[in-house]
Chain A
């Protein structure tokens, strides 16, 4: 390591290694990613572009540095499996024997065949679940495996599965965050879907969450005199946070955009890389067509 060129070359070599590994290869692998199919309804593509107002909201999120207190990275420690019997088949006696032999239980044929679907195993490993499924199939029945992702974040209802690259496909800039002063926001559109709750929370966080350390964002709102009547989108604030008599608080376009972005945040679509069993959809009781905008 005596001469300048040697030092330069070694630095060049090390940096290009790191660049190839952490910049070039991810770009090759992920940089041209396109929409993926939803692993439940194969014809649904995920993700969809956020609606225009939500995209503007992303820029408000960026400009106000929300990512310094909120992360958008749900973590998952493992996946457990439930086995649910859905069809007892033609010979429920054989089925009951096979299941009892496998699980050391005492089902009788009638009990097993009645009251389907019947969960047989809860929160086991994939190996056990697969072997039970095979046993059931061999005995002529049919079963389903339901996946349960596990982890502290999921137990906190911050998400149903971990966030993956696909969840950020159309965002720019991508801000997964690096601190959790406040809760994770990857699925806040699922958890707190009420527009008014979100607006009031932005204006006066402590009105919604007692003791919250989140700062207020009054500059996203406008305080103005009430006209002949209260505006349609005036906030209904508790007494402590309400403005003086005769004044109302109305959200500015930035506040509406930010809330639209927050409400669009959901990362619970089952994907190949993050498999999940969503709760089964039930056919609507009314004649109104169900909306099928793919979940995003």
Chain B
């Protein structure tokens, strides 16, 4: 049971507050950036949504045309908010569960800065028209380099921290995070190298690689990280272990084996075996959902009542529900008869939003609201704000996912009827889109609340820690009394 690398005297455990203190720098970078990118994503998502009601809205500026605003919104949500916040929470979970201080926190923070630099450069590039054309991979080549390097820094030192753990037996959250940290560089490098290098793969293989990457990112990576967060916090809040550890092992294997084959849509212009494999993989993820829900329900027992939950608990509970619903939506939309009606419609958008924002987003919001006071030692400036944020975000995502799911099915039925003209299909979808625009607005307000709270908390932290230290460092030197 030797924890290698920790410079602690034999028998001394590192205190929780020391661990938290070592987390401050990286978490500050990652959480604040995530909050900023969440706001950016919601703003652009709202702009994109409004364009459906008024196609002339901001249409004369090439930088704000729908085809550029939409990928910016999705990339900002995916890479700017969800991944950064997820990585931040992952670092904290790893540090706490390993009982080890974060290794090289400043380098991790630098990795976060590189990530943000890449995102910013890429975001401007997308608006300027340098989008790559591949969904979820729109960041141009020059931005990808920074993103990749930033991730490597974050992941490497997080893994190093895990390596320094006291207890060699990994607990479930640690397995999931370890696998996820390793998963992303491979899929990201493969996809970007095969698609954006000077000799990209030819023809439809480009689309297949892009779909493969998308499925692995959205289901496997975010599934692993999201479930790690959910499992950890359910254990924290319920004050007990997960009910069935073997079932978690089962969940882990079903995610990495089955969800890694998802992503290729049924209508893909590729030989039949490729979408068929994806269909089988996606339908098999139903087992993942069953195992997770079983485990969580058994762990929580009757303690699931939301009324008694403080906001972080509410967020985690909602995230868990969203996980189940969105993954089951995915399974249903892969079933051969149904896929003809959900493919290429708003249903897939609804499922994606529910997965990324409803599941990951809400889970990391809950984690942030829990972690930040612990790590900084300062309470949230506005105590009602987390609760308000919860309701704004929850109602917002429901108002996005539900109408778009129904609208998508209606759209699918309409596309099957040649009597309905193209314009009429779009018109029937419009009513559903109207509701989803309200949802986007609510989510934006919620994100602004979080950003505001974080900003004020940062200012208070600065005032509490830096100002006195600065004053002390710059105080006038008192003359030393001469001793006789």
A interface with B by C-beta (< 8 Å): 1-4, 7-8, 10-12, 14-15, 17-19, 21-23, 26-27, 29-33, 62-69, 71-73, 75, 152, 155-156, 162-183, 205-206, 209-219, 273
Quote the shortest CB–CB distance from B348 to chain A (angstroms): 7
Quote the shortest CB–CB distance from B54 to chain A (angstroms): 9
Q: Are B67 and A65 in contact (CB under 8 A)?
A: yes
Which B residues touch A14, using CB under 8 A? 253, 256-257, 260
Q: Are A15 and B186 in contact (CB under 8 A)?
A: yes
Q: Are B261 and A3 in contact (CB under 8 A)?
A: no
Quote the shortest CB–CB distance from B59 to chain A (angstroms): 5
Closest to A209 in B: B423
What CA separation (Å) do A219 and B52 show in the bound complex?
Answer: 19
Quote the shortest CB–CB distance from B216 to chain A (angstroms): 7
Q: Are A7 and B203 in contact (CB under 8 A)?
A: no
Assuming the contacts A3-B170, A210-B423, asked whether A176 and B202 have C-beta atoms less than 8 A apart, the reply is no
Q: Are A26 and B66 in contact (CB under 8 A)?
A: no
Closest to A154 in B: B418
Which B residues touch A29, using CB under 8 A? 271
Which A residues touch B175, using CB under 8 A? 1, 7
**One of B16-24, B131-139, B360-368 at the interface:** B131-139
Which A residues touch B169, using CB under 8 A? 2-3
B interface with A by C-beta (< 8 Å): 51-52, 55-56, 59-62, 65-68, 70-71, 129-135, 162-163, 168-170, 175, 178-179, 182-183, 186-187, 190, 194-195, 200-209, 212, 216, 249, 252-253, 256-257, 260-261, 263-265, 267-271, 274, 277-278, 340, 344-346, 348-349, 411, 415-418, 422-423, 426-427, 429-430
Which B residues touch A168, using CB under 8 A? 203-204, 207, 269
Q: Are A15 and B205 in contact (CB under 8 A)?
A: no
Quote the shortest CB–CB distance from A125 to chain B (angstroms): 19
Q: Are A167 and B269 in contact (CB under 8 A)?
A: yes
Q: Are B182 and A18 in contact (CB under 8 A)?
A: no
Q: Are A178 and B348 in contact (CB under 8 A)?
A: yes
Q: Are A172 and B62 in contact (CB under 8 A)?
A: no
Which of B59, B201, B253, B411 makes the CB contact (< 8 A) with A27? B201
Which A residues touch B187, using CB under 8 A? 15
Which B residues touch A177, using CB under 8 A? 344
Quote the shortest CB–CB distance from B87 to chain A (angstroms): 17
Q: Are A205 and B423 in contact (CB under 8 A)?
A: no
Closest to B214 in A: A178
Q: Are A1 and B249 in contact (CB under 8 A)?
A: yes
Assuming the contacts A22-B264, A152-B418, A165-B204, asked whether A176 and B216 have C-beta atoms less than 8 A apart, the reply is no
Which B residues touch A23, using CB under 8 A? 190, 194, 208-209, 212
Closest to A178 in B: B135
Which B residues touch A10, using CB under 8 A? 179, 252-253, 256
Quote the shortest CB–CB distance from B230 to chain A (angstroms): 18
Assuming the contacts A4-B178, A30-B204, A68-B66, asked whether A17 and B260 have C-beta atoms less than 8 A apart, the reply is yes
Q: Are B203 and A219 in contact (CB under 8 A)?
A: no
Q: Which of B133, B249, B263, B417 has the most CB of A within 10 A?
A: B133
Closest to A217 in B: B65
What CA separation (Å) do A218 and B61 show in the bound complex?
Answer: 8
Which A residues touch B61, using CB under 8 A? 219
Q: Are A205 and B55 in contact (CB under 8 A)?
A: yes
What CA separation (Å) do A169 and B269 show in the bound complex?
Answer: 11
Closest to A177 in B: B344
Q: Are B257 and A17 in contact (CB under 8 A)?
A: yes
Quote the shortest CB–CB distance from B145 to chain A (angstroms): 19
Q: A15-B183, A27-B201, A213-B55 are in contact. List 9 more A-B contacts (CB 8 A).
A: A14-B257, A18-B212, A22-B274, A27-B205, A67-B133, A164-B269, A173-B133, A179-B348, A182-B426
Q: Are B261 and A18 in contact (CB under 8 A)?
A: yes
Which of B130, B168, B415, B427 makes the CB contact (< 8 A) with A63? B130
Q: Are A62 and B209 in contact (CB under 8 A)?
A: no
Q: Are A62 and B133 in contact (CB under 8 A)?
A: yes
Assuming the contacts A4-B162, A30-B205, A63-B129, asked whether A12 and B67 have C-beta atoms less than 8 A apart, the reply is no
Which of B68, B190, B268 makes the CB contact (< 8 A) with A176? B268
Which A residues touch B349, using CB under 8 A? 179
Assuming the contacts A2-B169, A11-B183, A18-B212, asked whether A162 and B269 have C-beta atoms less than 8 A apart, the reply is yes
Which of A165, A178, A210 makes the CB contact (< 8 A) with B203? A165
Assuming the contacts A1-B170, A11-B179, A68-B67, asked whether A215 and B423 have C-beta atoms less than 8 A apart, the reply is no
Q: Are B68 and A65 in contact (CB under 8 A)?
A: yes
Which of B131, B278, B340 makes the CB contact (< 8 A) with A65? B131
What CA separation (Å) do A206 and B59 show in the bound complex?
Answer: 13
Q: Are B207 and A174 in contact (CB under 8 A)?
A: yes
Q: Are A173 and B204 in contact (CB under 8 A)?
A: no
What CA separation (Å) do A216 and B51 show in the bound complex?
Answer: 11
Which of B130, B202, B216 makes the CB contact (< 8 A) with A32? B202
Q: Which 6 A-B pairs have the closest CB atoms?
A: A65-B67, A63-B129, A14-B256, A18-B260, A11-B179, A173-B133
What CA separation (Å) do A215 and B71 show in the bound complex?
Answer: 16
What CA separation (Å) do A255 and B67 show in the bound complex?
Answer: 15
Quote the shortest CB–CB distance from B269 to chain A (angstroms): 4
What CA separation (Å) do A174 and B268 show in the bound complex?
Answer: 12
Which A residues touch B62, using CB under 8 A? 64, 219
Which B residues touch A156, using CB under 8 A? 415, 418
Q: Are B132 and A173 in contact (CB under 8 A)?
A: yes
Which of B59, B135, B170, B205 makes the CB contact (< 8 A) with A7? B170
Which A residues touch B422, using CB under 8 A? 182-183, 209
Closest to A214 in B: B55
Which A residues touch B256, using CB under 8 A? 10-11, 14-15
